[in-house]
A and B are shown apart, each in its own frame.
Chain A
Amino acid sequence: MSNKVLMIDGDRISGQDVRNQNVTAVTAIANIVKTSFGPIGLDKMLVDNIGDVTITNDGATILKMLEVEHPAAKVLVQLADLQDQEVGDGTTSVVILAAELLKRANELVQRKIHPTVIISGYRIACQEAIKYINEELAIKVDTLPKDFIVNTAKTSMSSKTINDDSDFFSKMVVEAINRVKTIDYKGDAKYPVNSINILKAHGKSAKESILVEGYALNCTVAAEGMPKRVQNAKIAFLDFNLAKTKMKLGQKVVVTNVNDLEAIRDRENDIIKERIQLIIKSGANVVLTTKGIDDLCLKYFVEAGCMAVRRCKKEDLKRIAKACGGTVLITLANLDGEESFDPTALGTADQVSQDRVADDELIVVKNSNKKAASIILRGANSLMLDEMERSIHDSLCIVKRALESGTIVPGGGAVESALSIYLDNVAATMGSRKQLAISEFAESLLVIPKQLAVNAALDATDLVAKLRSYHHVAQTDSTKKSYAHSGLDLFAGKVKNNVEAGVLEPAVAKVKCIKFATEAAITILRIDDMITLTPKQAQGDDHAGHGH
């Protein structure tokens, strides 16, 4: 044991052993998620240690729930997470690709090729691949028919539980994202996905999910006497408590006279009453607050015919305020040292109403022309609703990327097959050992179409060979360029033109997927020594014996 000489308290593995171990761990992770890949991939049911169940098809969600311990496998979990944050979709493919790259690199190492050579080969391959996507494969969205964006949404949904209703949902997603389109100061269009609020309600079927033109809140009006529907609403957004005034710590009120007691109580009420009157006087007829409103204050609002909603989520409130043109106030203090309510802080909406959806009641802020959208999902059970929410979120992200970046690529393994042909040619131009690494990289990319075919119970070898031959023709014969759009049709089990079929993905998602997978594979590949230090035992159980 090497650690005996090194005199550290722990284990050490090095060389080929550690590489094998890392690759095994990473492959194990990829094996878990790979059956959920693609339109015919199936879902996973995960039960955590307190018995909560999650059913999902999303790679990042699965891996996050798994509580992976192995450090190399953890890199992969982080990788999926990063893809989720940066792109929102393609989390499964990035994991599968990284694992395949590693597996093949390990084989090369066993054939006595130094890891650093493989690494530089992979780097070159990655750069070439990205260049090729951007220059050759990416299609500008302006050249495509209008419904491309609906198709992109549909593609991202195809692997999810909502696939059957993808026509319905993809339209909803596109409509929602178009509603929240904003132009930033540089003149670029932005599509902030989190301006779209997704709510879940039990009951009814998925098809009865609705898109609300405005913002829906999972709250109810604070008191029964309030109006349930306010037209031409003027909304005040508050982020403070509307309750009887309390003195701060270290401040005491000493009463010497019984009559004073009453006066002080009145004053306590009056301070808050004055505040409420400021709000009401400014013309507000709807009051939304993140904090509470006590009974006394409710009374004032009821009397004034105001609708008041308490305990709204702060993020929600901020978004509504943005959409309605108001501001969230954390205090009423003004710049004169007095208190006032500035009417410009009020937001406007066509209608604020309390609507009944299933058993719950929702506050819906309706606004026909403002930048907000909410999707109320309906489904048979909460597991399904959760998964629907994740799927919708993924699609929203994908649509956003496609619109913002303006370029898309055909899906269904088309890009990967084209790249593998291209990289094979690149490899042939290299005179060094890197050639092997690059051709392995090219081979690794094929794991995507292969896995797609395997999950669909098709003959992967046959289909991928066919696919490759199409792409080979596309790259050699300039008259048949459109063959570059060939991808798999997993339902018919053949190769077709995926741009025409409407299987589309944003180019940026593919680029990031390849970049991140390569970087993760390189990180793990460079390790040739793993030292695990034994956890220090707590002082208390020093006498409990050392059970190593």
Chain B
Amino acid sequence: MATKAPVSRSDFNEKEKEKDVRTSNIVAARAVADAIRTSLGPKGMDKMIISPNKEVLISNDGATILQNLDLKHPAAKMLAELAKAQDIEAGDGTTSVCVIAGALLGAVSQLMAKGIHPSIISESFHLALNKSLDVLTSMAVPVSLTDRTSLVKSATTSLNSKVVSQYTNLASIAVDAVLNVINPATANNVNLKDIKLIKKLGGTIEDTELVQGLVFDQTASHTAGGPTRIQNAKIGLIQFCLSAPKTYMDNNIVVGDYAKMDKVIKEEPKLILEMCRKIQKSGCNVLLVQKSILRDAVNELSLHYLAKLKILVIKDIEREDIEFICTTVGCTPIANIDSFSPEKLGKADLVEEVGTSDGKIVKITGIPNPGKTVTVLCRGSNKLVLDEAERSLHDALCVIRSLVKKKFLIAGGGAPEIQVSQQVTAFSKTLTGMTSYCVRAYAEALEIIPYTLAENAGLHPISIVTELRNKHAQGEINSGINVRKGAITNILQENVVQPLLVSTSALSLATETVIMLLKIDDIATAR
């Protein structure tokens, strides 16, 4: 390394003493938590990240920010992974999870300064976590999936911190999308793959819409002037190529006689025509062709024939979309022309090419038994907003999914954290020794969430948090910070609710990560 090596390297490339290692880890991880603190809550702001190749990203989502920061320190990286884990498990609360972890680490460093052994701290934290989860669960209000308004409320809460917060339509889109793909009576999980998000530049976020059916990013093939609008569509999905066959080995066709030249030339059209005829015979009038890297999935000749046979062609279907398309329109992918039969086709009322300012898209609507999949078409006036809208919508979908997984709601606005903090403090009084001390520190650390919420909203954090404590001590367990009014109110009445799963998963993931960081006493860099 040259004289002025990047700071990041020199900080951990030597074998350090135990205490230094812990301190360095804690400092690094807390720095990360501090960095994204300002994006927590409805008054949180966005971060703009310019990547090394000059691409710009604007986001409010903790996991997205940390993923794109390109963190160097291993402990900081763990925090980024923590956010990701929360993203996978609950889909929302990625910022909170990091903020909690940061606060817990702060508590840890104080405890260690007092000479408490890390293993005792970790044990007590475990204890505190279990208690906290009990408290959270006891606070929760059961919710039924048929109660659409409650679902919309929690989706709105999740969207509150995002750039899209003012557009109320997104929350209901998210709820409708999820409710569409599940059976509310029996569902225990949602496969978010059944909800496809398509981004298209142009229009504003208000123009985002839920499509019962399919939307394709690509246009219908125009090369041969085929149809672009078909009613009563019968949709076939093929995974083979409609072009001249190739052998795997190098081959040569040797023509010895001029008369045979014609035959060679005519062979290709004949072959392709035969395939197109078979497709038409099955009654298919919309053909989706999977992308092929080996050879052209369709060539001019086959497009020409298909256009003549009045079949709408959409080519370059990605492989991973096949399953989605099949469940949506109810077709079966066809791998060989010989198995192209009418029962494998899907049906739809209308397949239509629609123009947008950012190129055309194809919409398939009016599928016979909807309810398996939906598509959400996101719109936005610039790429950055559009990307962020998509991420926010994904978060909202995840929130609804969390509710499907665990059908309980709890209040938002810092109410659960304060409640947990108080209950756990009370619990600590029943313990003795160092454990009691550590559990108490854990409880205090959780106050970071209401504290940050108040701070981001420009309120006085200390007075707000103490007032909140007071209210909770009086038994008003649903009191929380009403950021809009800048006061403490009953947050359930304000419709600020979040799924229980988001909070429980945030707490357990954060605690586990902290315990893990705590137990590291040595870093050796192996090269």
User: Which residues of A are at the interface with B, using a C-beta cutoff of 8 A?
Assistant: 2, 4-10, 12, 14, 18, 69, 71-72, 74-75, 78-79, 82, 85-86, 112, 114-116, 119-120, 123, 185, 239-240, 245, 247-248, 250-256, 260, 263-264, 266-268, 271, 318, 321, 327-331, 333-335, 337-338, 515-516, 519-520, 522-523, 526-536, 545-546, 548
Cβ-defined contact, A9 with B70, below 8 A? yes
In whole angstroms, how far apart are the Cα atoms of A79 and B70 in the complex? 29
**Residue picked from A185, A335, A338, most chain B C-beta under 10 Å:** A335
B202 CB–A CB distance under 8 Å: yes
Does B361 belong to the interface (CB within 8 Å)?
A: no
A24 nearest CB across to chain B (Å): 15
CB-nearest residue of chain A relative to B206? A515
Q: What is the bound-complex CA distance between A82 and B301, given in angstroms?
A: 37
Nearest CB of chain A from residue B199's CB, rounded to whole Å:
14
Partner of A250, one of B42, B54, B251, B258: B251
Known: A9-B8, A253-B261, A271-B262. A523 touches B72 (CB 8 A): no
Taking A82-B357, A330-B303 as contacts, is the C-beta distance between A71 and B256 under 8 angstroms?
no
Task: Give 7 closest A-B pairs by Cβ, nearest first.
Answer: A528-B45, A5-B31, A535-B52, A71-B56, A529-B47, A526-B46, A85-B357
Of A8, A330, A520, the contact of B300 (CB 8 Å cutoff): A330
Chain A: minimal CB distance from B114 (Å):
24
Q: A250-B253, A337-B266, A535-B53 are in contact. List 18 more A-B contacts (CB 8 A).
A: A6-B71, A6-B76, A7-B8, A7-B11, A7-B71, A8-B71, A9-B72, A18-B48, A75-B382, A252-B252, A255-B256, A331-B304, A333-B304, A519-B205, A526-B45, A526-B46, A527-B48, A529-B39
Given the interface contacts A331-B301, A333-B269, A536-B52, does A82 sit within 8 Å of B163 by beta carbon? no
User: A8 CA to B67 CA in the complex, in Å?
Assistant: 12
A266–B262 CA distance with the chains assembled, in angstroms: 12
Q: Are A7 and B382 in contact (CB under 8 A)?
A: no
Distance between Cα atoms of A263 and B308 in the complex (Å): 35
Please state if A267 and B261 are interface contacts (CB–CB under 8 Å). Answer: yes
Where the two chains meet, the residues of B that have a C-beta atom closer than 8 Å to any C-beta of A are 2, 4-8, 11, 27-28, 31-32, 35, 38-39, 42-43, 45-54, 56, 58, 60, 69-73, 76, 163, 166, 201-205, 222-225, 229, 244, 250-259, 261-262, 264-266, 269-270, 273, 277, 300-301, 303-305, 308-309, 357-358, 380-385, 457-458
> Which of B69, B244, B383 is in CB contact (< 8 Å) with A78?
B383
Q: How far is A327 from B304 in the complex, measured between Cα atoms in Å? A: 11
Shortest beta-carbon distance from B225 to chain A in Å = 5
What residues of chain B lie closer than 8 Å to A6, measured between beta carbons? 31-32, 35, 69, 71, 76
Instruction: Judge whether A523 and B76 touch: CB under 8 Å.
Output: no
Select B28's contact among A7, A255, A331, A530, beta carbons within 8 Å: A7
- A82 nearest in chain B by CB position: B381
Nearest-neighbour CB distance to chain B for A22, whole angstroms, equals 8
Rounded to whole Å, the gap between the CB of A165 and the closest CB of chain B is 30
Shortest CB distance B305–A (Å): 7
Asked if A527 meets B273 with Cβ closer than 8 Å, knowing A264-B261, A331-B304, A335-B305, the reply is: no
Contact present for A527 and B6 (CB under 8 Å): no
Known: A116-B43, A251-B264, A337-B269. A530 touches B381 (CB 8 A): no
What is the interface of chain A mostly: helix, strand, loop, or mixed?
A: mixed
Q: Can you list 21 residue pairs at the A/B interface with Cβ under 8 Å? A: A6-B31, A7-B28, A7-B71, A71-B56, A74-B56, A75-B384, A82-B381, A85-B357, A86-B357, A114-B457, A116-B42, A247-B255, A250-B251, A250-B252, A251-B253, A268-B261, A330-B301, A335-B277, A526-B45, A531-B49, A533-B70
Assembly CA distance A9 to B166 (angstroms): 35
Q: Which residues of A contact B73 (CB under 8 A)?
A: 7
Q: How far is the CA of A321 from the CA of B224 in the complex (A)?
A: 12
Contacts of A255 in B (CB 8 A): 256
- The distance in angstroms between the C-alpha atoms of A154 and B28, with both chains bound, is 63
* Inter-chain contacts of B72 with A (CB < 8 A): 7-9
Chain A residue nearest to B31 in the complex (CB): A5
Q: Are A548 and B45 in contact (CB under 8 A)?
A: no
Query: Which one, B50, B225, B277, B384, contacts A533 given CB within 8 A?
Result: B50
Nearest Cβ on chain A to B45's Cβ, whole angstroms: 4
- Minimum CB distance partner of B266 in chain A: A337
Contacts of A75 in B (CB 8 A): 382, 384
**A343–B381 CA distance with the chains assembled, in angstroms:** 47
CB < 8 Å neighbour of A253 from B43, B203, B255, B309: B255
In the complex, which residues of chain B have a beta carbon less than 8 angstroms from the beta carbon of A527? Answer: 45-48, 58
B151 to chain A, nearest CB (A): 24
For B266, the chain A residues whose CB sits under 8 A away are: 337-338
Docked Cα-Cα span, A532 to B257, in Å, equals 69
A310 CB, nearest partner CB in chain B, Å: 18
Given contacts A528-B47, A531-B48, A532-B50, contact A263 B258 (CB under 8 A): yes
- Which A residues lie within 8 Å of B205 (CB)? 519
State how many angstroms separate the Cβ of B63 from the closest Cβ of chain A: 15
A458 to B73, CA, bound (A): 60
Q: Of residues A10, A240, A256, A331, which shows the largest number of chain B Cβ atoms within 10 Å of its Cβ?
A: A331
Which residues on the A side are within 8 Å of B252 (C-beta)?
A: 250-252
> Quick check: A523 and B45 within 8 Å, CB to CB?
no
Q: For the complex, give the distance between the alpha carbons of A435 and B11 in Å.
A: 50
A contact residues around B204 at 8 Å (CB): 515-516, 519
**Residues on the A chain within 8 Å of B4, using CB:** 546, 548
For A327, the chain B residues whose CB sits under 8 A away are: 225
Contact of B166 among A12, A119, A250 (CB under 8 A): A119
Contact A8 B70, beta carbon cutoff 8 Å: yes
Question: Which chain B residue has the least Cβ–Cβ distance from A237?
Answer: B225
- Which chain B positions have C-beta within 8 A of A10? 70
- Taking CB atoms, residues of chain B closer than 8 Å to A86 are 202-203, 357
Using Cβ atoms and an 8 Å threshold, which residues of chain A touch B43?
Answer: 114, 116
**A519 and B47 contact, CB distance less than 8 A:** no
Check B384 against A523 for contact (C-beta < 8 Å).
yes
Q: How far is the CB of B353 from chain A (nearest CB, A)?
A: 12
- Report yes or no: A533 in contact with B51, Cβ–Cβ below 8 A: yes
Residues of chain B within 8 A of A338, CB atoms compared: 266
CB-CB under 8 A from B223, the residues of chain A are 330
Closest chain B CB from A334 CB (angstroms): 8
- What residues of B have a CB within 8 angstroms of the CB of A533 in the complex? 49-52, 69-70
Chain B residues whose C-beta falls within 8 Å of the C-beta of A7 in the assembled complex: 7-8, 11, 28, 31, 71-73, 76
> Please, how many angstroms separate the alpha-carbon atoms of A251 and B28 in the complex?
66
* Distance A448 CA – B60 CA, assembled complex (angstroms): 33
Q: Is the CB of A528 within 8 A of B201?
A: no
Residues of B within 8 A of A267 (CB): 258-259, 261-262
With the chains together, A271 CA to B72 CA distance in Å?
A: 67
In contact, B258 and A520 (Cβ under 8 angstroms): no
CB–CB A522/B163 < 8 A? yes
From A329, A528, A534, give the contact of B38 (CB < 8 A): A528
Residues on the B chain within 8 Å of A532, using CB: 49-50
A236 to chain B, nearest CB (A): 14
Question: Do A523 and B58 have beta carbons less than 8 Å apart?
Answer: yes
Q: Give the shortest distance, in Å, between B67 (CB) and chain A (any CB).
A: 12
- Interface-central residue, A78, A82, A516, by most chain B CB under 10 Å: A82
In contact, A531 and B69 (Cβ under 8 angstroms): yes
Residues in B neighbouring A264, C-beta threshold 8 A? 258, 261
A-side contacts of B38, CB under 8 Å: 14, 528-529
Chain A residue at minimal CB-CB distance from B271: A337
Q: Which residues of the other chain, A, contact B45 by a CB distance below 8 angstroms?
A: 115-116, 526-529
Let me know if B265 and A526 touch, CB within 8 A. Answer: no
A526 and B382 within 8 A (CB): no
Which single residue of chain B is at the shortest CB-CB distance from A522? B163
**Of A74, A256, A526, most B-chain CB atoms within 10 Å:** A526
* CB closest chain-B residue, reference A261: B258
The CA of A256 and the CA of B255, in the complex, are separated in Å by 11
Which single member of B50, B58, B201, B382 contacts A519 (CB below 8 Å)?
B382
Of B8, B28, B257, B273, the residue contacting A260 (CB under 8 A) is: B257
